[in-house]
Chains A and B, each alone.
Chain A
Amino acid sequence: MKKLINGVDEVLSESLRGFGIAHSDLVEVSLEPRFVTRRAKAPDEKVALVSGGGSGHEPLHAGFVGIGMLDAACPGEVFTSPTPDQMLAAASAADCGGGILWIVKNYAGDVMNFEMAGEMFEGQCAMILTNDDVAVESSLHSQGRRGVAATIAVEKIVGAAAERGDDLAACQSVGERVNSASGSMGIALTSCTVPAAGKPTFDIGADEIEIGVGIHGEPGRRREQLRTADELVGELVEAIVASTGAGQGSEVLAIVNGMGGTPLLELYLLFDAVSRECDSRGMTISRSLVGNFCTSLEMQGFSLTLTKLDDELRELWDAPVRTAALNWN
């Protein structure tokens, strides 16, 4: 394993500390227990958005803490759900009287830990589960679909709804609307190495790719030979469209998300392919995001997310946001 670290046990604390120093204008970092909160005081009675999940997906979620998005994030160990003590501490730090909205990616561990926190939290709270990954959705899998990069759209749009004064139920409902309007699918060219494990999560041949890979290196639909970017994008768009019902006349937000080890040169090339593919299907990409937002450590690969937009969702996406990873006025 070759990583820029001091020791595997210190990776998370040192990285979080660095994040806190680098973005001290936006966030405050607690190391014991681990959580990140927004520095700017939120309006009274605003719904507080608290998310979290395993580390290794940066900038998700701490990079989205700030004005117009998350109020707090709880980073777990690498690829491991955070624990309820972190969530409870983050919730009480972020609570400004409007209740807590937990935003959780659909993984057994994350769901169970957030559920336990919800049971222990003394106050109003609700949960949104994201499950946008269309790669695995056979009815055999009672776990349901995985939550991946559409979580960014959910956090951004619900963050704007909370900022404009929507109450807890309204925020939850807009979040669920974004989630069900979204579909994602990813492809891996290489594996990734969890620092504490010390070796790659899976083996993959030099010319092989994993279609439908998860953001923890979980296998997807199948293993096959590398193909052209256009062919891969064509397959992803087809799978997403089949699941979300986007098509002729749909307006979408398109997120081309790097898995951590893919150069922007390739991500923009992929976006060009996505743009042509959507054009040929009569779909309009009215909003876009290209970069590394929901990563899988140093994995080479990418995911595509398409979220169907309407006037309200587009307005909320456009609303000001000031976080380490997303920043516009």
Chain B
Amino acid sequence: MTKNLISRLIAKIADSICASADDLTKLDQAIGDGDHGINMRRGVEALLKQGDDISRQDFSTALRKAGTAIVMSVGGASGPLYGSALLAMAKTASSMPSNQAEVGVVVAAGIDAVKARGKSDAGAKTMLDVLIPVHREIENGSSIDRIRRVAEESATATKPLLAKKGRAAFLGERSIGHIDPGAKSAALIVHAVCEVLEKR
């Protein structure tokens, strides 16, 4: 069951990122350095390559191996951010969460790691602007459908924000009016996870 779920999660996330890689790159060309889709694709390809090994592990080890694969393959800011999140989640999750409250605890550990690594918080036009509201919905016991919707809406809501972190921050006011690529990839990942969990 665990193995099956992990491999389905990897496959779905990889599908979703690869299908949207060009869009992510386009968003990044507008306010960043134009490589987010390329980097994220490299990351999910590394996950797919190690997918058999990762999905054989217990939940915590799988998260740790996935985090290491991301850190060592992605580069840029998204590699250490997503990688640190997975590594922190691995430390918190002793076993596969059995209910939504337990999922919330694991996700919170990941978000704290992203905040620490990126020295950032909500409102800076980053992936945190998706992850934090998503975590709030998980904690509130919201439905999968609502969580997915909040992820998408939160990504779109980064459009009017002024970037305070990452390369987009160098743009100042010119960062306003574009969706943050990191927020978008975070929403894609949440969306993919929701799809898999819904069909479980």
Contacts and interface: CB of A to CB of B under 8 A. Distances in A.
Contacts of B169: 141-143
A194 B33 CA distance: 9
A80 B169 CA distance: 17
A318 B172 CA distance: 39
Nearest to A114: B80
Contacts of B34: 79, 194, 197, 201, 216-217
Contact of A140 (B35, B80, B83, B172): B172
Given A76-B75, A83-B72, A197-B29, A218 B167 contact: yes
Interface stretch (A104-112, A154-162, A227-235, A299-307): A104-112
A140 B33 contact: no
B82 to A, nearest CB: 11
A68 interface: no
B164 A140 contact: yes
Given A79-B35, A194-B34, A201-B34, A143 B74 contact: no
A46 interface: no
Interface string A208-239: 00000010111100000000000000000000
A116 interface: yes
Interface string A115-143: 11000000000000000000010101111
B47 to A, nearest CB: 15
Interface in A10-60: 54
Contacts of B71: 83-84, 116
B170 A214 contact: yes
A82 B75 contact: yes
A109 B79 contact: yes
Interface in B153-172: 162, 164-167, 169-172
B80 A77 contact: no
Nearest to A218: B170
Contact of B39 (A77, A138, A146, A201): A77
Interface size class of A (residues with CB under 8 A): 35 or more
A83 B170 contact: no
A98 to B, nearest CB: 27
Contact of B171 (A76, A113, A201, A218): A218
Contact of B38 (A82, A141, A197): A197
Interface in B136-166: 162, 164-166
Contacts, number: 112
B167 A80 contact: no
A85 B73 CA distance: 9
Contact of B165 (A80, A143, A218): A143
B85 to A, nearest CB: 12
A5 interface: no
B97 interface: no
Contact of B75 (A77, A194, A196): A77
A268 interface: no
B172 A138 contact: yes
Contacts of B164: 140-143
Given A77-B75, A197-B35, A216-B33, A141 B81 contact: no
A113 B83 CA distance: 10
Interface of B: 25, 29, 32-35, 38-39, 42, 71-81, 83-84, 117-118, 124, 162, 164-167, 169-172, 174
9 closest Cβ pairs, A-B complex: A112-B80, A109-B77, A143-B169, A109-B76, A216-B33, A108-B77, A80-B75, A85-B72, A81-B75
9 contacts: A81-B77, A85-B72, A108-B167, A112-B81, A138-B172, A140-B162, A201-B34, A216-B33, A219-B174
